[in-house]
Amino acid sequence: MSAIVSPVRKPLITGNKTYHQITEDLISPTEKTPNALWVITFLMSISLLGFGLFCIAWTIWNGIGTWNLNRTIGWGWDITNFVWWIGIGHAGTLISAILLLFRQKWRTGVNRAAEAMTIFAVICAALFPGIHVGRAWVVFYFFPYPNTRGPLWVNFNSPLLWDLFAISTYFTVSLLFWYLGLVPDFATVRDRATGFRKSIYSFLAFGWTGKAKHWQRWESLSLVLAGLATPLVLSVHTIVSFDFATSVIPGWHTTIFPPYFVAGAIFSGFAMVLTLMIITRKVLSLEDYITIEHVESMNKVILVTGTMVGVAYLTELFIAWYSGYIYEQFAFFNRALGSYWWSYFGMMFCNVLSPQFFWSRKIRRSITWTFFLSIVVNIGMWFERFVIIATTLARDYLPSSWSYYTPTWVEIGIYLGTIGLFFTLYLGFTRVAPVVAVAEIKSILKTGGDQYVGENAKHHHHVKHDVNEHAAGTSIDIDENPDTKIK
Partner 1 sequence: MKKGHTEVLYGLYNDEEILLDAVRQAKKEHLDIMDVFTPFPIHGLDPILGLAESRLHQAGFVYGATGTCTAFLFMTWVFTRDWPIIFGGKPYWSVPAFIPITFELTVLFAAIGMVVSFYIICGLGPGVTNEVLDDRITDDKFCLAFQTNGYSEDQIDKLKSFLTSTGVEEIGAKVI
Region of 426 on the Ramachandran plot (φ > 0 left; ψ -120 to 50 alpha; else beta): alpha
- The distance of closest approach from Cβ of residue 194 to partner 1 in the complex, given in angstroms and rounded to an integer, is 10
Instruction: Measure the CA–CA gap between 113 and 290, rounded to whole angstroms.
Output: 11
Residue of 455, 92, 181, 437 lying closest to 286 (CA atoms): 437
Nearer of residues 46 and 126 to partner 1, judged by Cβ: 126
Task: Figure out which of the listed residues 138, 195, 207, 485 binds partner 1, where binding follows CB under 8 A.
Answer: 207
Q: Which stretch binds partner 1 (CB under 8 A): 44-52, 160-168, 316-324, 397-405?
A: 160-168
Chain residues 231-270 in contact with partner 1, contact rule CB under 8 A = 231-232, 235, 239, 242
Residue of 216, 235, 221 lying closest to 166 (CA atoms): 235
CB 17 within 8 A of CB 288: yes
Residue length, the chain?
A: 487
Task: Figure out which of the listed residues 47, 68, 339, 443 binds partner 1, where binding follows CB under 8 A.
Answer: 443
Nearer of residues 86 and 239 to partner 1, judged by Cβ: 239
Residue 195 binding partner 1, by CB under 8 A:
no
CA 40 centroid distance within chain: 24
- The distance of closest approach from Cβ of residue 342 to partner 1 in the complex, given in angstroms and rounded to an integer, is 35
The DSSP output letter for 49 is H
Q: Which helix (H) or strand (E) holds 476?
A: strand 475-476
Chain residues 381-440 in contact with partner 1, contact rule CB under 8 A = 439-440
Nearer of residues 203 and 321 to partner 1, judged by Cβ: 203
Nearer of residues 394 and 437 to partner 1, judged by Cβ: 437
3-state secondary structure of 348: helix
Task: Figure out which of the listed residues 95, 166, 352, 393 binds partner 1, where binding follows CB under 8 A.
Answer: 166
Task: Figure out which of the listed residues 206, 325, 342, 409 binds partner 1, where binding follows CB under 8 A.
Answer: 206
Nearer of residues 63 and 210 to partner 1, judged by Cβ: 210
Chain residues 125-154 in contact with partner 1, contact rule CB under 8 A = 144, 150-153
Residue of 58, 150, 166, 7 lying closest to 414 (CA atoms): 58
Task: Figure out which of the listed residues 136, 183, 200, 363 binds partner 1, where binding follows CB under 8 A.
Answer: 183
The DSSP output letter for 463 is E
- The mark string for 7-26 relative to partner 1 (x by CB under 8 A, - otherwise) is -----------xxx--x---
- The distance of closest approach from Cβ of residue 457 to partner 1 in the complex, given in angstroms and rounded to an integer, is 17
3-state secondary structure of 460: coil
How many beta carbons lie within 10 A of that of residue 153, not counting itself? 12
